């Protein structure tokens, strides 16, 4: 598929030599001139550091070290992470107040984890996430984290780590709880036919894209027309926007992450993109939350209607990602880099389990 040619930037036209191919020296000269021009126009004026001014600042703020220390540490967190931590701690504070406690103590936190387990049966990293948010806030803003006056931060203590580990470790025990299923290729074809029979073409396209490319739903919804590009090795990559693993320390991954595609997947996406304008969201119609919820519900309905394996549950498009990983194992073996799968090895192993393996993991009576 050939996309419309992009207009040539003006600076390229001006610097292109009219005769034969420019020499290496000329090329470097053009690059240097361009770089110098840009830097001259946008680079901020260099500020000279005065040691005397630093000494004066130090003397003036000798009694303010704790506040400066706290302020600088807070700046190591992104705005998004701060908001996530604050939200978690606010829930813990609300629980403490409901218990009639003025502070979030160890006992209060243990009761919170216990109440969480009572409703969910554990087996997730939820409690660990709340503990780490509380730990960070206890260190950066003890008063805001309702830490008792005179107490040192305790959320990182060994006993607290074991409390949340115990909550998470529940998943290691065999249970009768159904395990999430995987979308095999025959199941996908049947599902697509079922969706198109209900005239749900957009849902079918989204499901097929998630399966062929191994996309999370959030990744698929951010794909733009033109995001499938050829790379330097005569293969195709898809630009993943706002990758799940991005955090404040991964500066090079904040916007885009290349994902390797096989030829079938690349051709499928390009086929969908040919029907839309360059740069617009490929699955823009699926963006509203209500629309996504309706899409997820289709998997649950299909599991019953199409009689998918009993004992497993199919709750949404993520089962396509499981199927894609299993397909990769069959097609290309285990030698693929984990960056292609976008998960750690332990997660990949679980995702690649077959339907038979998933059913066999259920507790036997």
- pLDDT tens column, 145-194: 999 999 999 999 999 999 999 988 875 555 566 788 899 999 999 999 99
Q: Is the pLDDT higher at 41 or at 29?
A: 41
- Average pLDDT for the chain: 79
More confident residue, 326 or 191: 191
User: What tokens appear for 331 in the block?
Assistant: 């097609």
pLDDT tens for 238-294 read 888 865 555 555 554 445 667 778 888 899 999 999 989 999 999 999 989 999 999
74 confidence band (pLDDT: 50, 70, 90):
confident
Output Rg (C-alpha) for the chain, integer angstroms. 27
pLDDT digits over 4-35, tens only?
444 433 433 333 333 334 443 443 444 444 44
Decide if pLDDT at 101 tops 90: yes
Assign 123 a pLDDT band (cuts: 50, 70, 90): confident
Given a contact cutoff of 8 angstroms between Cβ atoms, the answer to whether 123 and 168 are in contact is yes
d(CA 314, CA 34) in angstroms, rounded, equals 55
Mean pLDDT to the nearest integer, 76-92: 87
Check whether 98 has a pLDDT greater than 80.
yes
The DSSP bridge pattern shows strands 236-241 and 228-230 to be antiparallel
Which whole number is the average pLDDT over 117-143? 89
pLDDT in tens, 334-360: 545 444 555 556 666 666 677 777 777
- pLDDT for the residue 70: 81
Q: Which domains does the chain have, with CATH numbers?
A: 70-172 (no CATH), 180-360 (1.10.443.10)
Q: How would you class 356 by CB atoms within 10 Å of its CB: exposed for 0-12, middle for 13-18, buried for 19 or more?
A: exposed
Q: Phi, psi (5° rounding) for residue 177?
A: -65, 130
3-state secondary structure 255-282: CEEEEEECHHHHHHHHHHHCCCCCCCEC
Structure tokens at 283: 């699955």
Rounded Cα distance between 81 and 249, Å, is: 11
């Amino acid at each position: 598929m050939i996309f419309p040619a992009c207009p040539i930037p003006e600076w390229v036209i001006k610097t292109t030599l009219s005769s034969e191919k420019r020499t290496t020296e000329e090329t470097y000269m053009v690059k240097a001139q361009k770089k110098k021009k840009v830097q001259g126009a946008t680079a901020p004026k260099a500020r000279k550091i005065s040691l005397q001014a630093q000494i004066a600042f130090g003397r003036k703020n000798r009694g303010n070290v704790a506040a400066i220390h706290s302020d600088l540490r807070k700046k190591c967190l992104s705005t998004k992470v701060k908001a996530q931590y604050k939200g978690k701690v606010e829930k813990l504070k609300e629980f403490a107040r409901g218990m009639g406690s003025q502070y979030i103590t160890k006992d209060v936190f243990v009761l919170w984890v216990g109440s969480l387990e009572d409703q969910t049966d554990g087996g997730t990293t939820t409690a660990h996430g709340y503990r780490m948010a509380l730990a960070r806030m206890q260190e950066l803003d003890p008063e805001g984290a309702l830490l008792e006056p005179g107490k040192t931060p305790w959320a990182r203590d060994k006993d607290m780590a074991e409390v949340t580990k115990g909550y998470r470790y529940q998943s290691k025990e065999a249970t009768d709880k159904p395990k999430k299923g995987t979308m095999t290729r025959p199941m996908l074809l049947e599902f697509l036919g079922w969706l198109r029979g209900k005239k749900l073409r957009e849902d079918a396209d989204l499901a097929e894209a998630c399966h062929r490319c191994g996309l999370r739903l959030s990744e698929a919804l951010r794909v733009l027309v033109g995001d499938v590009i050829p790379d330097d090795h005569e293969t195709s990559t898809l630009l993943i926007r706002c990758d799940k693993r991005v955090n404040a320390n991964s500066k090079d991954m904040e916007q885009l992450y290349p994902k390797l595609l096989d030829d079938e997947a690349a051709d499928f996406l390009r086929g969908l993109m040919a029907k839309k304008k360059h740069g617009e969201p490929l699955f823009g119609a699926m963006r509203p939350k209500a629309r996504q919820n309706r899409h997820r519900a289709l998997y649950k309905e299909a599991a019953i209607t199409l009689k998918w394996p009993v004992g497993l549950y199919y709750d949404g498009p993520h089962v396509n990602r499981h199927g894609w990983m299993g397909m990769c194992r069959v097609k290309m073996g285990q030698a693929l880099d984990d960056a292609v799968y976008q998960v750690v090895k332990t997660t990949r192993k679980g995702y690649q389990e077959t339907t038979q393996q998933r059913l066999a993991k259920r507790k036997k009576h």
